[in-house]
């Protein structure tokens, strides 16, 4: 059921780009160096996204020093709307901007929000559709398990 639309290494390379080609931000790569990476596709018009941000901030607070990296990929076509959202619901995690949806398409996003838990090689360990408070413990457990595996070494 988990798609492999994007080969693992290519996923990491794509995420390293701060925004899709053609954006005004210079192409210097942002490091994708987490032991475990939570990639979350969000938009200003997505209701559950507003609920997921405080939770993602909390996850970063709890597990950032254990190697968790969170990358929120915004798919708004109007950057102003994304900025408005962020002003009201700040993110302490890394952000990427994908207005043309190229990254969303390559990851095979099927819902909004859609999150992917990746290991350090870029393999998709888990995929979650939507955000619900009721499932937050489950999401957290997946992160903890992935970090455990990563930190036990290879």
Partner 1 sequence: MQLKRKASTSIGASLAAATAGLLGQSPGRAIAQELAPWEYDTAILLYSESDNRVRDVSLNLDARKEVREEAFLNLKLAIDTLTGASPSGAAPANTVQTFTTPSGGSTFDIAAGEQVLDPSFLDTRTALAANYDFPLGRFTRFDLGLSLSDEYDYSHSGVNMKLDRDFDNRNTTFTFGLALANDSIDPVGGAPIGLAPMTATGGNKQGDQSKDVTDILLGVTQVLNRHSLVQFNVSLSESDGYQTDPYKILSVVDPVTGNPVIAPPLNGLPYLYRYENRPDTRDKQSIYGLYKRDIGGNVFDVSYRYMTDDWDVDSHTIDLHYRWNLESGSYLQPHLRFYSQTAAGFYHSVLFNGTPLPDFASADYRLSEFDGLTLGIKFGRETRRGEMSGRLEIYQQTGSASPGSQVGSLQSFDLNPGLEAIIAQFSYKFGG
Partner 2 sequence: MRKGKGLLALLAVGALGAAAAGCSGLGVQPWDRDVLARDDMQLVSDPVEAALDEHIYFSKEASSGGQGFGGGGCGCN
Q: What is the rounded CA–CA span in Å between residue 14 and residue 18?
A: 9
**Are 97 and 22 contacting, i.e. CB atoms less than 8 angstroms apart?**
no
Please, what is the Cα angle at 72 between 68 and 77, to 5 degrees?
Answer: 170
Q: Indicate which single residue of 7, 54, 105, 138 sits in contact with partner 1 (rule: CB under 8 A).
A: 54
Write a three-state SS string for 37-71.
Answer: EEEEEECCCCHHHHHHHHHHHHHHHHHHHHCEEEE
Report how far residue 66's alpha carbon sits from residue 131's, in angstroms, rounded to the nearest whole number: 23
Provide, rounded to whole angstroms, the least separation between the CB of residue 154 and partner 2: 34
Which position among 6, 15, 46, 59 is part of the footprint of partner 2 (CB under 8 A)?
A: 46
Interatomic CA distance for residues 116 and 114, integer angstroms:
7
Stretch that binds partner 1, among 3-11, 14-22, 66-74, 131-139 (CB under 8 A): 131-139
Q: Which does 101 bind (CB under 5 to 8 A by kind): partner 1, partner 2, none?
A: partner 2
Q: Which of 14, 39, 109, 146 binds partner 2 (CB under 8 A)?
A: 109
Among 41, 53, 85, 131, binds partner 2 (CB under 8 A): 41
* Interface residues toward partner 2, by CB under 8 A: 41, 43-46, 75-78, 98, 101, 104-105, 109-112, 114
* Interface residues toward partner 1, by CB under 8 A: 44-51, 53-55, 57-58, 61-62, 88-90, 110-112, 129-130, 132-134, 136-137, 140
């Amino acid at each position: 059921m988990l798609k492999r639309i994007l080969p693992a290494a290519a996923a990491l390379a794509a995420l390293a780009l701060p925004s899709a080609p053609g954006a005004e931000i210079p192409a210097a790569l942002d490091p994708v160096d987490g032991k475990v990476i939570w990639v979350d596709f969000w938009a200003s018009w997505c209701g559950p996204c507003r609920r997921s941000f405080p939770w993602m901030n909390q996850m970063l607070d709890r597990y950032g020093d254990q190697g968790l990296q969170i990358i929120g990929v915004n798919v708004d076509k109007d950057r102003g709307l994304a900025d408005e959202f962020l002003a009201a619901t700040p993110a302490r995690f890394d952000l990427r901007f994908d207005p043309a949806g190229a990254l969303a398409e390559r990851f095979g996003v099927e819902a909004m929000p859609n999150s992917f838990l990746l290991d350090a090689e870029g393999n998709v360990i888990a995929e979650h559709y939507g955000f619900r408070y009721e499932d937050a413990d489950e999401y957290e457990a997946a992160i903890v398990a992935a970090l455990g595996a990563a930190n036990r070494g290879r």
